[in-house]
Amino acid sequence: MIRVVVLGSKGRVGSQIVRGVRAARDLELAGEVDVGDDLAGVLARGRPQVAVDFTTPSAAEPNAEAALRAGAHAVVGTTGLEDTALRRLDTLARERRLACIVAPNFALGAVLMMRFAEEAARHFPWVEIVERHHEGKVDAPSGTARLTAERVAAARAAPKEPEGATEGAPGARGGRVAGVPVHSLRLPGSVAHQEVWFGGPGESLVLRHDAIDRAVYVPGVLLAVRRASLHVGLVQGLEAVLWPSR
């Protein structure tokens, strides 16, 4: 049995993770933490092997640090962590011989979408990303959109941009992540959606992923929980867990 503590246990995703852990035969819910709870006390009493964090960017780093110092692997689904924070967590995890798995998206379909986009970018140099989330999501672009753009940019040999294009309103052409235009929508009625648009002479290719229920993240999170002990240090992206030799 793998003992698991869930941080952000009353949140939109955290509550789904709690249910998933309880339903799993090989996992044991060792504790739940939400706003105002005593994290140090829960970690001390629960003695978890893995701590899962779905909270806020400001809380995720200290939460992961506390978990690592308590001897637990960290699985972080909170987006918006700065590179400096990730480097600090990597250093601490390596010192403790533990894993810190940080992924912008734990939906298996989203991970496959990013992998397919990376391949498509080798053949389609024209690309833009449109991502849509619920109105409560505070970071834009999303972590998934950022990671997709970075991988697309690394894969495509000759980026293409419109020549002489102007913006009648600032941001009309989207923000740029690694040179890739990214358009972010925040609307009620949305969960998590992303389209990667590729264009070529006489054709277009669209890769799309829709998360219509937050339960979609549970299988990926539980997979990371089960495989955390196979890693040491910072692991970025669920694909590194799915395909460790890639």
Give the per-residue pLDDT at 160: 73
Domain 108-211 has CATH 3.10.20.30: no
Residue pair 5/43 in contact by the 8 Å Cβ criterion: yes
CATH fold label, 2-102+214-242: Rossmann fold (3.40.50)
Output DSSP code: residue 55: S
pLDDT of residue 43: 97
Query: In the chain, where are the structural domains located?
Result: 2-102+214-242, 108-211
Cα 80 to Cα 76: distance, rounded to the nearest angstrom: 11
Is the dihedral angle over the CA atoms 190, 12, 196, 60 positive or is it negative? positive
Output the pLDDT for position 232: 97
- Which sequence positions are flagged as catalytic? 133, 137
Residue 243's pLDDT is 81
Each residue's pLDDT expressed in tens, for the chain with a length of 246 residues? 999 999 999 999 999 999 999 999 999 999 999 999 999 999 999 999 999 999 998 999 999 999 999 999 999 999 888 999 999 999 999 999 999 999 989 999 999 999 999 999 999 989 999 999 999 988 899 989 999 999 999 999 777 777 777 888 988 889 999 999 999 999 999 999 999 999 999 999 999 999 999 899 999 999 999 999 999 999 998 988 988 765
Per-residue pLDDT at 79:
84
What pTM does this model have? 0.83
Rounded Cα gap, residues 145 and 41, in angstroms: 36
Q: 108-211: same fold as 2-102+214-242?
A: no
- pLDDT for the residue numbered 161: 73
Q: Do 168 and 177 contact (CB within 8 A), yes or no?
A: no
The tokens 């700065």 sit on which residue? 82
Q: pLDDT by residue (tens digit) across 109-134? A: 999 999 999 999 999 989 999 999 99
